[in-house]
Structure 1
Amino acid sequence: MFMSQNLKIGILGPVSRAVVWEKYLRPHPTVSEVVIASDIPALAGVQACILLDEGPDRLATALNLVKLGYHLFIVGRLPMQVAEAEKIFYTAEESGIAVQYSNWAVFSEGTRWMRSQLPRFDLYQSVRELEGMPLESGIEPFMGYILEDVALAQNWSGSNVNRVLANMAVSDAGEPVSIQCYLRFENSSAASVFFIANSRRNLHNRYASGRAGSVFTDVQARKAFYRTSDGGLRADTEYTFDEPEPAHYAVTQFLKTIQLKRDSDFSGYHGLQLARTIRIIREALRR
């Protein structure tokens, strides 16, 4: 809809956070102006918006922004409710509006390197442990800790989920302690996502393997390792990534999505796919 090479970008959210995101935008020559706004009317005249909102109504705000014709980058927790994600996706599709969600697992430098070495996996596994995390009652808050890895697995597989197995360990007080999900995709690849809240250490590792080889990332240490197997010969490659967080790359992707009329690495469609998968996981946990 808006294809000017000089984009006027709005940032809607708390000023303290907006100032940080303004710094990510300023280096881009295609950004002519950045407007920090506290409400939607203050966005008048911008072509795209970065929404910084962790409130319960943030996806309703996102839908309103899409209806107003703003290309949108939604920064915050990924969508878990199908109805909200559907409205955003279909409204954007009908209007030719670009929507991007902030899946930091997909946008991170380590993951991008893993995927460049192994474009398609047969098996994927993520293991995340947190030390001394206060336990919360209920499934919903707990599932927030697996969202990015479930979304990454589905995004990387390039396929839809056709089977889900999910289990959760619960304390005597009824508080979730750990969760494990097994996802089987239509292209026969599979993924396992595990999270535990009361570990004795902090750990976040990702593993993937396929015919071409195997890749491993230690998210906290910011190190990745690739081993390829070809005709019995093995070659090992180690990679260290310095990017502290992937916001710079995500902003670049958002701007290219607008200008080149292409899908983002994690678009409104991917958000809808994730919400549908989370619904299946939620149903499996309640059986």
Structure 2
Amino acid sequence: MSNGGTVLAAGALVRRPGPSGPEVLLVHRPKYDDWSFPKGKLDEGEHVLAAARREVREETGLDVVLGRPLTTQRYQVSGRDKAVSYWAARPTGGQFVPTHEVDRCEWLPFDAARRRLTRPRDAALVGELAAGPGETVPLVVLRHAKPVARDEWAGAADDRPLDGRGRATADALVPLLAAYGIERLVTSDTVRTVDTIAPYAAAHSLPLEAHPLLSEEGFRNAGSAAVTELRALLDAPVPTAICTHKALLLPVVRALCALCPAAAPSQPLAAGGFWVLHAADGTVVAVETHEA
């Protein structure tokens, strides 16, 4: 897939514990006789998160969940700009089967991986992976999908459901939240926020936790206690998604990022958009932004 002439691709640095320290997975492509990371171009209309996981699965046979983002590589191929988005990742299952595209995979310690990799830019990514925390826990801050317009709804404001576009967005969020292995769902108790993450809850048999703090009135009434309650979510070792309202997005994420190295995002989210805060030991170390 391309975007304004730029070829878009995605991949991951898959990491696991090894007998002498952490190891990263490299792939060998016989067509080029090179060693690199699993990656590939986005299919038409494919989300970059879905593409990263698909490419790892196709080239290595492994299922993975994504961790913190790594530096996007930008270079030219055949005179065209190319951008490859990378994430740290961990394997959750699967087994390698050689193909015509990738005939070998090897788990190597970081130093050995740097030496084996064909391109210096890939070796630099191993250094970035090694320099950061080995494991991070994602906390997704999600704006609810598009609801029925206020002037088209005669019921109570909190009962306003998603419209057709919003329901499509809610369905599209299922593989995107799955990319981070989300296991806990916390939401405002309005119909539109619950319906936004209900498809993911159903697909993964997860309960929904309605939290008054995530409603505009609840957040306002909580006062300074709101920051304490939100920060507790960072200390939980469970990948979590919280769904709330447009007016609360920035206050919520600023409370979560307070005193953390990663700067809180400042741009507004579109309906169904989300930030991913990657935390290690209760500290946000990376933030990324996505639309469904």
TM-score normalised by the shorter chain: which range applies? Answer: under 0.3
For CA contacts below 8 A with separation 6 or more, give which structure has more relative contact order: 1
